[in-house]
Amino acid sequence: MATKTVYYIEGDGIGPEVWKAGRPVIDAAVEKAYGTENALDWQLLLAGERAFKETGEHLPKATMDALANAELAFKGPLNTPVGKGFRSLNVTLRQVFDLYACIRPIKYFKGIESPVKRPDLVDMTVFRENTEDVYAGIEYQSGSPEAKKLIEFLVDEFGAKIDATAGVGIKPITPAGSKRLVKKALDFALEQGKPSVTLVHKGNIMKTTEGGFRAWGYELAEEEYKGRVVREGEDGEGVIIKDRIADAMFQNVLMYPEQYSVIATTNLNGDYISDALAAQVGGLGLAPGVNMGDKLAFFEPTHGTAPTIAGKDMANPGSLILSGAMLLEHIGWHEAANLIHKAVEKGLADKKVTVDLAAQISGSTQVGCREFGEILLGNL
């Protein structure tokens, strides 16, 4: 019997609701596929608002110690204040445990009424760099002593033209960070038989950071993947590596989605484009994800805490359930993962769905979070 330990955090807002509705589906898929041979051992960890209430800390030491030795973890959405308070707990977890790749597969589910004409052509996996760029940036507020000092230094030493009242930030992107992210994307493309990897950047404007990401990606392909990866427009066989400027790429994934398969990009670009792609195929309610390093894989639904509907039995547990399928695929339990995908497809075809999906499926019946979970459970 194989038992895999999964540390999990319920999350804030709708987190407890989607966990209660979604986890039984994941466990039942494992049981149906393997009987008692395989099982997931779920170990609760505290983080976020519940942790603060019980321990006085948003990320207790016990939680961080457990994750330091973990291989599999799963969490619900965690609250991040806007404009004040602590910086994102999500970002903290990614940086502390070096979860440098945010991986999000985006694929159309039949039955969803998409805002685009051919959502069925969308089948992409986004590899978003997780530890650098503006998410690891250094910021100083307008008028602060730090901002004034930095502006004076840039003006005096380098002749920069910056308004003295500006808020300022520093955006770090490194060769090593860029290359390991692109490597993960290229390895995935080769393993899964994908046709291409597209480097998405804004290197025409930010030449040394975004442009650096592009250049270092190509360098990696040439250094480590000769004979297996070929640059767009060059002769040869293998996975095609190409690049697109970020704003053009947003247009291209709307107009020519069939031309793109695997996307490797910087942190902020990845944040935007992964959500935009999710909107093309049904929204964040069906968008799974994982933050992955070389040791720890941290799975999570990609939506936020949705405080306006928390406690109202309106949330969609689909993203969490499909993230569970990603976890099962990651550990090689493909049969159980396939059962989940089929259960979701049947649920959409039967048109009994949560409010976010009901708005996109004509003739559907709206059900609550709990009932939708029970429907998917029954579909197994």
Residue tagged active-site, from 12, 133, 243, 271: 271
Determine contact, residues 190/208, Cβ cutoff 8 Å.
Answer: no
Pick the catalytic residue from 135, 140, 225, 260. 135
Whether 202 is catalytic: yes
Specify the DSSP class assigned to residue 193: T
**126: which strand partners?**
104, 263
Please answer whether residues 224 and 89 qualify as being in contact, where contact means their C-beta atoms are separated by less than 8 angstroms.
no
Whether 181 contacts 127, CB under 8 Å:
yes
CB atoms within 10 A of CB 112: 18
In order of 79, 145, 182, 303, 370, the CA distances from 233 in angstroms are 45, 51, 19, 38, 51
Mark whether 247 is an active-site residue: yes
Select which of 108, 140, 202, 260 is catalytic. 202
Please give the structure tokens belonging to residue 231: 């640059």
Neighbours of 355 (CB within 10 A): 18
Closest CA to 93 of 75, 71, 107: 75
275 is catalytic: no
Closest CA to 144 of 164, 161, 162, 125: 164
End-to-end CA distance of the chain: 22
Residue 17 and residue 87: Cα distance in Å, rounded? 25
Helix, strand, coil share of the chain (percent; to 5): 45, 20, 35
**Choosing from 247, 295, 312, 350, which is the catalytic residue?**
247
H or E segment at 166? Answer: none
Q: Which residues pair with 72 in a beta bridge?
A: 297
| The two structure tokens encoding residue 2 | 């194989």
- Count Cβ atoms below 10 Å from residue 166 Cβ, excluding itself: 14
Residue 90 burial by CB count (10 A; 0-12/13-18/19+): exposed, middle or buried?
A: buried
Q: Which residues contact 27 (CB under 8 A, 6 or more apart)?
A: 39, 40
Q: Which residues are catalytic?
A: 135, 202, 247, 271
